[in-house]
Amino acid sequence: MNFRNFKMIGYVIYGRGAFNQLDEILQPNRKGQAPMIFLVDRFFEDKPFAGRVPLRGNDKIIFVDVTDEPKTTYVDKLAKDLKDEFGTVSGVIGIGGGSAMDLAKAVSLMMTNPGSSADYQGWDLVKQAGVYKVGIPTLSGTGAEVSRTTVLTGPTKKLGMNSDYTPFDQIVLDPQLTADAPANQRFYTGMDCYIHCVESLTGTYLNEFSKSYGEKALQLCRDVYVNKDGWDAESDDKLMMASYAGGMSIAYSQVGVAHAVSYGLSYLLGTKHGIGNCIVFNQLEDYYPEGVKEFKWMVEKNQIDIPKNICANLSEEDFDKMIDVSLGMKPLWENALGKNWEEQITRTTLRKLYEKL
Ligand code: NAD
Ligand code: ZN
């Protein structure tokens, strides 16, 4: 047995208003005149929150476009522009959902590693530490704040830069920052966490470490989406910790069928991670009967729209491409169904499933 020895994030600060301590947190990490670069989700460009970013000296805010999930070309351009303008920077701070945080991780790594970020899509290909990096979520659920990956769409694949250099040096968990997110988006991203828990807790890779975090995260998701009526400050507090614990749970296990199938959707159709997982999970009664039943109840109770018939007009080649991408996610299938998963999941099974979405 070869146990995973995984690298964790450096520092964590948690609490309502913790964001106000960011200036003080950054101070000892400044290297001379080299600036701190804030990659802030474009949603905040014209919001008062942008004025709270603690700029000093030649620090810079870049409002990042997250219409599409992060691409290697975008990461490379951001890193090149920063090198051209400043030579080096003290750090990169990602403020936003999973997309803005993933951009920050990737740009930090590309400030010190040669070539294109596409060269590092895979496992343990990154050889140099990046510059100091901080993650500050404004949506809760992906677990990107704790993970050792940054998911990128490259010229040939959608795959993360998974490495010991990828986790943040610091995260700032301030639930106030998620307060104004739209209900549908908050649900899709929150359900990413719920689905992480179900996939981890029912998977064959499960161990007591993953279980401890997964059970807690699942309970927090239920508190928010099942046991409560309406949304309040406590919901933001709980979902932020659910995201953290859900991320810790999959760090030592793996996700499963919903993620394997939704990767195909996002590769072909550009479907975003949270909503894509919801579209798929909605049809997975055969694999996760209890989870899907509860999921449907949460959708109804919280009056959320889950798109349907998104594969209605696809060609044979389109289906083939999605099936190829999905079958490529071997560890996810193995976690979900065991070592003989290939006997259970054929191209025909997957084709039928995609047709239902
Ligand atoms: P997101 O970051 O893609 O953002 C979704 C939308 O919400 C965007 O339009 C954004 O502008 C908006 N938004 C963000 N914060 C807001 C706020 N407080 N109020 C209003 N709107 C807000 O969404 P996400 O679901 O957090 O992240 C999905 C991304 O995370 C995908 O790119 C996925 O690949 C990645 N991901 C990464 C990991 C990892 O471990 N690195 C894990 C899961 C998902
Ligand atoms: Zn996920």
- Beta-carbon contacts of 208 under 8 Å, excluding residues fewer than 6 positions away, are none
- What is the Å distance from ligand 1's center to 94 Cα? 11
Among the bound ligands, the one closest to the CA of 273: 1
| 138 CB neighbour count, 10 Å cutoff | 23
Task: Give how far Cα 286 sits from Cα of 129, 201, 281, 335, Å.
Answer: 43, 16, 10, 16
User: Is 143 touching ligand 1 by the criterion CB < 6 Å?
Assistant: yes
User: Is 236 touching ligand 1 by the criterion CB < 6 Å?
Assistant: no
CA–CA–CA angle 113, 116, 126 (5° rounding): 40
316: left (phi over 0), alpha (psi -120 to 50) or beta: alpha
User: Is 311 touching ligand 1 by the criterion CB < 6 Å?
Assistant: no
What pLDDT sits at residue 1?
A: 72
What pLDDT sits at residue 26?
A: 98
User: Is 144 touching ligand 1 by the criterion CB < 6 Å?
Assistant: yes
Q: Which helix (H) or strand (E) holds 133?
A: strand 132-137
Are 23 and 57 in contact by the 8 Å Cβ rule? The answer is: no
What pLDDT sits at residue 158?
A: 86
Q: Which of 44, 47, 66, 267 to mutate to test the pocket of ligand 1 (most atoms within 8 A of CB)?
A: 66
Q: What is 55-100 written as a DSSP string? A: --TT-EEEEE--SSPPBHHHHHHHHHHHHHHHSS-SEEEEEESHHH
Looking at the chain, the domain(s) classified CATH 1.20.1090.10 span 183-356
Q: What is the CATH code of the structural domain delimited by 183-356?
A: 1.20.1090.10
CATH topology of domain 11-178: Rossmann fold (3.40.50)
DSSP letter at 178 equals G
pTM of the entire predicted model: 0.97
Q: What are the 10-residue block averages of pLDDT along the chain, 357 residues in total?
A: 87 98 98 97 96 97 96 98 98 98 98 98 96 98 97 90 97 97 96 98 96 98 95 97 97 95 93 97 97 97 94 94 94 96 96 96
Residue type, 7: K
Ligand 1 atom 25: the closest Cα is on which residue? 189
166: tokens are 């990828």
What pLDDT sits at residue 6?
A: 86
Task: Give how far Cα 57 sits from Cα of 30, 54, 79, 199, 345, Å.
Answer: 11, 10, 20, 46, 56
What pLDDT sits at residue 4?
A: 84
